[in-house]
Amino acid sequence: MQVNGNTLVLGGGVYGSTGYGCFWYPSSYQLNGKKMRAYFKFKFTSIDNSSNSTSYADGFTFAVVSGNMPNNPCGGAGVNIGFGGLNYDSVAVEFDTYPNGGSGGRNDPANYNHVAIVKRDNNTHGASTAMGDNPPCPSSPPGSSEGCAAPGPITWLEDGVEHTVRVEIHTGCNPACNNCGSNPQNYTLIKAWIDCSSCNDLTQDYSSTPTISHCFQLPSSMNNVKFGFTEGTWGSTQNVEIKDFGIGFY
């Protein structure tokens, strides 16, 4: 990983058991009782024209983690994408470019790039975590479920085109997460939009239907949080650029 001006570069040809990394902003911020809104752009410069999304691997995450986490931990390589194995309460938006399926994999959609909500250092879709189950992914893409989307075409993330991302976390929700901000309960709604239009204004909520969303209970360890990016690969390298990042807690 390296920072060039306002661009974070992930990957860079490192592979195998050392092919992973994490970039954390060092300060912690109050999340409980607030809304978090974030925006950034990303581009995979390793363009995949394959028919099964297997030329490059494995992807990256935008992660929000417990505020008491030190500034240097990271998860594992390969299918973990630097998030699996992090060992702290956390929630992330995963941008996965390699299909790791059932046994020994991550229950990824077959042969499709996908984006998903994952929690508590576990990026297996549908798995039970200490923060509740991860949302499952559609097994036969293209398609979407509430917390996972593989809309197609097959390598839609790895097209060398700049993609926009908007992420919001709303706290103080009821158990259905359809009433947030004024509830004494600790349910939390995370929403993410991919390829959104005019979505960089962080002073107000973004009103369109999100690409993915997920309702979960916020652990007390995440009343204050840190945030950053994780990345991993194994036998197939990749390069991704992240730029124009902005975040606010309101």
Whether CATH 3.40.50.880 fits 2-249: no
- Mean local confidence (pLDDT), 157-170: 97
Q: What percent of the chain has pLDDT over 90?
A: 82
Average pLDDT, the chain: 93
**More reliable by pLDDT, 139 or 8:** 8
Handedness of CA 82, 83, 85, 90 (dihedral sign): positive
Query: 11: pLDDT confidence band, cut at 50, 70 and 90?
Result: confident
Query: 183: pLDDT confidence band, cut at 50, 70 and 90?
Result: confident
How far is the CA of 97 from the CAs of 23, 110, 148, 180, 217, in angstroms? 19, 11, 13, 33, 28
State the pLDDT at residue 122.
96
State the pLDDT at residue 3.
63
In the predicted structure, residue 1 carries a pLDDT above the cut 60: no
State the pLDDT at residue 174.
94
In the predicted structure, residue 102 carries a pLDDT above the cut 80: no
- Mean local confidence (pLDDT), 63-83: 95
Query: 27: pLDDT confidence band, cut at 50, 70 and 90?
Result: very high
State the pLDDT at residue 12.
72
- Mean local confidence (pLDDT), 47-56: 92
24-212-210-172 Cα dihedral, nearest 10 degrees = -70
Query: 18: pLDDT confidence band, cut at 50, 70 and 90?
Result: confident
Q: Please check whether residue 74 is in contact with residue 18, taking contact to mean a CB–CB distance below 8 angstroms.
A: no
pLDDT in tens, 201-244: 999 999 999 999 999 999 999 999 999 999 999 888 888 999 99
**Confidence (pTM):** 0.95
Which residues lie across from 173 on neighbouring strands? 187
Could you say which DSSP state residue 46 is in?
Answer: S
Evaluate the omega torsion of the peptide bond into residue 175 and state whether it is cis, within 30 degrees of 0: no
State the pLDDT at residue 15.
72
- For the stretch 125-135, what's the b/e string if a residue is b when 16 or more beta carbons lie within 10 angstroms of its beta carbon? bebebebeebb
In the predicted structure, residue 125 carries a pLDDT above the cut 80: yes
- Mean local confidence (pLDDT), 59-84: 96
